[in-house]
A and B are shown apart, each in its own frame.
Chain A
Amino acid sequence: SQQGEEDPQALSIQEGENATMNCSYKTSINNLQWYRQNSGRGLVHLILIRSNEREKHSGRLRVTLDTSKKSSSLLITASRAADTASYFCATDRGGKSTFGDGTTLTVKP
């Protein structure tokens, strides 16, 4: 079973809207990463947040981490059709990362 679980499994929004996806995990972690995957391609690293950080920004991305609730959220602001992809969280522990099953985001033009 996977360490991280993303919610929702699927999300459909209009271009220009914000998209929020969540990740919950079960054990203590060193850091948490978010990745994007376009259909049939490899994963692209978006952002990493360490266990002692609470919030991080990168362009239109905002990530929060709440270690007391063992959860993280990824916010994509002003979404574009090109943001259509699957988004995965990965929790790092013991030298390797464990991935959830992802949120599929569809942004309609």
Chain B
Amino acid sequence: DTGVSQDPRHKITKRGQNVTFRCDPISEHNRLYWYRQTLGQGPEFLTYFQNEAQLEKSRLLSDRFSAERPKGSFSTLEIQRTEQGDSAMYLCASSFRTGEGFYGYTFGSGTRLTVV
């Protein structure tokens, strides 16, 4: 296992276009998280899945954002009708969590989105 993979690494899109990002987590992990990070800030929680179920979605996530994790494997994050304010690094992380067993997140390298 090579860790958490995110694709693409960089995406430049025009305002109003739709974009989709992919995340492949560590296969043994049961939880997958999406965070967004802007320059000089810490990661902001967007949503997370346990297996294929989306357990929580941040109020930051407008209706233009949707995330899926079919069959509890990889995940996609889609942003429709992109706006300049969506420009950020989108980070995916996975973890194994059960009861009290949690040992931290493994993050991918992120997808940097620039909306022009």
A and B associate: yes
A48: contacting residue among B42, B55, B104, B108, CB under 8 A? B104
Contact B91 A43, beta carbon cutoff 8 Å: yes
Q: Which of B89-116 contact A (CB under 8 A)?
A: 91, 93, 97, 102-110, 112
The main secondary structure of chain B at its interface with chain A is: strand
**Chain B: interface size category:** 20 to 34
Closest to B50 in A: A95
B33 within 8 A of A: yes
Interface stretch, picked from A14-22, A59-67, A68-76, A99-107, is A99-107
How does the 8 Å CB contact mask read for A73-109 relative to B, with 1 for contact and 0 for none? 0000000000000001010101111111110000000
Contacts of B108 in A (CB 8 A): 42
Instruction: Tell me, in angstroms, the Cα distance from A101 to B38 when the chains sit together.
Output: 10
A96: contacting residue among B41, B56, B109, B110, CB under 8 A? B56
Contact B42 A42, beta carbon cutoff 8 Å: no
Q: Beyond A35-B105, A96-B33, list 14 extra A-B contacts (CB 8 Å).
A: A2-B42, A33-B105, A35-B104, A42-B109, A42-B110, A43-B43, A43-B107, A45-B107, A95-B55, A99-B43, A99-B44, A100-B42, A101-B42, A102-B42
Chain B residues within CB distance 8 Å of chain A = 4, 33, 35, 40-45, 48, 55-56, 91, 93, 97, 102-110, 112
Chain A residues within CB distance 8 Å of chain B = 2, 4, 30-31, 33, 35, 40-45, 48, 88, 90, 92, 94-102
